[in-house]
Amino acid sequence: MNDYRKYWIWLATVLGPAVRTDEILGAFPEPHKAFEASESERMLSGVLSKGQLEKMRTVSMDTAIHYMNLCKKNGWEIITPDCENYPESLKKLTDIPLALYVDGDLGCIRDKVTIGVVGTRNPCYESIAITRNISGELTKAGAVVISGGALGIDSAAHEAALAAGGKTVCVLGCGLGTDYLRANEAMRREIGKNGAVISEFAPFTPASRRTFPQRNRIISGLSMGVLVVEAGEHSGSLITAKHANEQGKEVFAIPGSVLSTAYMGANSLIRDGAKAVGSAKDILTPYAVMYPDRLCLDGLSGPAKEEIKASAAEKSKPVKVRKECPKELDPECAAVYGLFGEEPVHPDEICAATGLPLSKVISVLMQLEISDYIEQTEGKNYILK
């Protein structure tokens, strides 16, 4: 029996992630027809660029079969748009992911209210407490929490959903099996057992600065609404919120002090029409009206005020400003130092962004730390000093 998933995987490899596919699928609704078409037929379709035509000539089916074998060996599932369990919400995107690599059960979102929870990787204590409270309450009410598996708000959201005994979905900005963010490896394993870890990137594809913005549309695509907890002016969370707006999804935000740059992004969202919320009930009430059989709001409380108050008592660190790059730094040190901004950076992220081996990255970080430019913080992250 012919497994037509291989044609979807082949086409996904040809086109790459986050590419507008609606016109291409309009011309070739069944990917095997694109694979079997002659070069002139592909050209005459008028929907393929010169680069895409070239990749169709050079990418063989062996690549797709290789990915299928990798997934079979590791116990991962591959879901394509013709599969019964492919999320209907993603089929509405103009840049639909043509293949999803899944560790776990993505069926956990079927007939569920799904809420994306995103925010900074370097949140204050108050934001962590709010995230944990809201994500736990969302889960207890019957919703599924969707996030990106990063440090900070993402991790707090996933961990709270797991602690509440619910389901959560992690959308990676790299391929399954990639040695990325080791600090979260145990959490990802738990998510795979109680939800799903998914990616549109082929197995073992490394993370990079481009892959995270590309995956954000999937977080919003899987979600009925997206909550932004704490986000600065240039936070990647705003990309997720932008996708949610474009996809016709509701955007929620936790309001913060207008005097803090850490909340500039979230406050801007509220100014532009996002709904200011303070509890899971604020988020779920309209969905409970639409889907009364999917949610139970009985017993939901407001924010965990005592926990938040106690957490807020911990003074959050002031915004770090990167000093001018010292002239004496060698090019590799300068490249690593240039990655630092408001949010903490993990060695694995530096490896992904620079292509340097982990041993070299650790050596560079030690030099910068000794020179008093950065310091190590919890979770083996580094921040500006």
* Model confidence pLDDT, tens digit, residues 12-30: 999 999 999 999 999 999 9
pLDDT at site 258 = 78
With 90 as the cut, is the pLDDT of residue 254 above it?
Answer: yes
Integer Cα distance of 254 and 120 in angstroms: 12
Integer Cα distance of 241 and 116 in angstroms: 10
pLDDT at site 324 = 62
Do the beta carbons of residue 97 and residue 17 sit within 8 Å? yes
User: Euclidean distance between the first and final Cα of the chain, in Å?
Assistant: 60
Q: Is the pTM of this model over 0.85?
A: no
H helices of the chain, where? 5-15, 22-27, 31-36, 39-45, 50-58, 61-74, 125-140, 153-163, 185-193, 211-222, 237-246, 264-271, 280-290, 305-312, 331-337, 347-354, 358-370
Confidence band of 303 (pLDDT split at 50, 70, 90)? low
Q: How many residues are recorded in the chain? A: 385
Mark residue 316 as left, alpha or beta (left: phi above 0; alpha: psi -120 to 50; beta: remaining).
beta
Integer Cα distance of 177 and 7 in angstroms: 22
Sole residue written with tokens 């079969």: 65
Max CA pair span of the chain: 68
* Model confidence pLDDT, tens digit, residues 307-319: 444 444 444 444 4
359 or 55: which leads in pLDDT: 55
Integer Cα distance of 100 and 86 in angstroms: 8
How many Cβ atoms sit within 10 Å of the Cβ of residue 185? 10
Sole residue written with tokens 């602690």: 163
Confidence band of 336 (pLDDT split at 50, 70, 90)? confident
Token pair listed for 280: 């899971």
Integer Cα distance of 195 and 156 in angstroms: 16
pLDDT at site 302 = 62
pLDDT at site 373 = 82
Q: By C-alpha distance, which of 152, 115, 168, 111 is closest to 279?
A: 115
Please tell me what DSSP assigns to residue 46: S
Token pair listed for 200: 């549109």
Do the beta carbons of residue 229 and residue 153 sit within 8 Å? yes
Confidence band of 382 (pLDDT split at 50, 70, 90)? confident
Contacts 24+ apart (CB under 8 A), 50-58: 52/14, 52/15, 55/13, 55/14, 55/15, 56/14
Distances (CA, A) of 152 to 67, 146, 159: 31, 14, 11
